[in-house]
Every structure is written in C-alpha cells, then in structure tokens.
C-alpha cells in the first residue's frame, strides 16, 4: 500500500500490520527529576524487547527536543523499507499549557513536537504512540485548589486544552490538503495525568 494512497476500510477486528520496522524515540530530562533514570532504563528495555529500534537522548534542551523530533521524522522518511509503528516518549517537567521544559529550563510546546510526526509520510496510516510523563498543571487530585508546584511553571495565559490545540493544528493541514487518511488518525496519546494536574 502506498503510504499516501487510499487504504481499505478497516473492519472491526482489523489489526495494524507491524511487519515493518518499528522505531522509538525516548527523550528524557533526568536533571532535577530524581529517579527518572529508572524510567529511562525500564522503558528502553521494553522498547528493545518489543523490537523497536530505539534512540535515547537524556537531558535534552528545549531546542534539542524539537531537533530530535525533526531528525526522528527524517530518519523514518528516509528508511528504506516500510515503517510500521513509531513510539515517542517524552519525560520532563511540564506546565499547564502543554509546555515541556528542557534541561536548560526553556520551554517547548508539546503539540509542536507531536505535530512533527503528523508530517511524516512514512507513518501515514501507521500507528503513532506518544507517552507523556510530565506535569500538566499544578492541581492535585483529589486536593485543594490550584497550588503552584516547583516543577510546574505558572503562566499568565488561560489554560488551553492540549488535545484541542493538537486537533486544531492538524485540522488546518487537513483542510489544506485532504489526504487519504486524516492526519489525526492512528495516534495513541497516553499522558501520566489529566490536563491541569501534577504528575506524581
């Protein structure tokens, strides 16, 4: 099947074909996040056990977050054979408006990083897994009203839904050039906490 071409409508019991290559990108800030190395080791081991060609970058700066995502996409697009699945794990401190903090304390918007893979032709119609281990606010559940946490920067801007922003951005592309498969399709996001809450 051409990556940009039409695909047969999946039946209710259909399963993704994972016979091609699998690639994982693990970006983890460990500075100032005690114990984060345990997560890096556990997740890295799992990815390798599941056959993912794994790239690990620890303590990326905010700029490196973006550059690594761009390079990951380029590697996938340049891959000789078919790519059947991609997994991206982002582990860092985060904020209520979908920011991720690099090791340098600078911010990057999560949706910008996620959007990078929506441009990846090799992954069109292929499953994309995003794992986010980061605070998404200062709220504790169940708990008192919002209280600033040291790991979560405050912002003067009103809270926006991360999923809403992602969908909005992706929809804009969808409207410009309708592909065979919507850009929003085939994505699994798993966040360690709900919007606005701290990650324990």
Minimum CB distance to other proteins smaller for 12 or for 156: 12
19 binds other proteins (CB under 8 A): no
198 binds other proteins (CB under 8 A): yes
85 is catalytic: no
27 binds other proteins (CB under 8 A): no
Minimum CB distance to other proteins smaller for 122 or for 134: 134
Cβ–Cβ < 8 Å for 122, 79 = yes
70 binds other proteins (CB under 8 A): no
Cβ–Cβ < 8 Å for 197, 136 = yes
DSSP assignment of 17-49: ---SEEEEEEEE--TT-TTHHHHHHHHHHHHHH
Cβ–Cβ < 8 Å for 90, 43 = no
Q: Whole-angstrom Cα distance, residue 43 to residue 159?
A: 30
* Per-residue tokens: 78: 């340049």
24 binds other proteins (CB under 8 A): no
Where on the chain is the footprint of other proteins (CB under 8 A)?
10, 13-16, 18, 33-39, 42-43, 45-46, 49-51, 85, 89, 91, 127, 129, 131, 133, 140-143, 149-150, 163, 182, 184-195, 197-200
């Amino acid at each position: 099947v051409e990556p940009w071409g039409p695909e047969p409508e999946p039946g209710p019991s259909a399963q993704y074909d994972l016979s091609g290559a699998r690639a994982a990108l693990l970006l983890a800030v460990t500075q100032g996040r005690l114990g984060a190395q345990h997560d890096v080791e556990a997740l890295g081991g799992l990815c390798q056990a599941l056959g993912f060609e794994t790239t690990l970058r620890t303590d990326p700066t905010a700029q490196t977050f973006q550059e690594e995502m761009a390079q990951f996409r380029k590697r996938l697009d340049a891959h000789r054979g078919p790519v059947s699945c991609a997994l991206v794990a982002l582990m860092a401190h985060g904020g209520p408006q979908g920011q991720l903090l690099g090791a340098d304390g600078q911010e990057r918007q999560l949706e910008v990083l996620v959007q990078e893979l929506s441009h990846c032709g090799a992954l069109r119609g292929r499953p994309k897994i995003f794992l986010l281990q980061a605070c998404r606010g200062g709220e504790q559940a169940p708990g008192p009203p919002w209280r600033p946490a040291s790991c979560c920067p405050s912002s003067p801007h009103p809270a926006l839904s991360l999923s809403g922003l992602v969908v909005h951005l992706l929809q804009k592309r969808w409207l410009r050039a309708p592909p065979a498969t919507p850009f929003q399709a085939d994505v699994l996001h798993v966040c360690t906490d709900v919007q606005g809450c701290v990650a324990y």
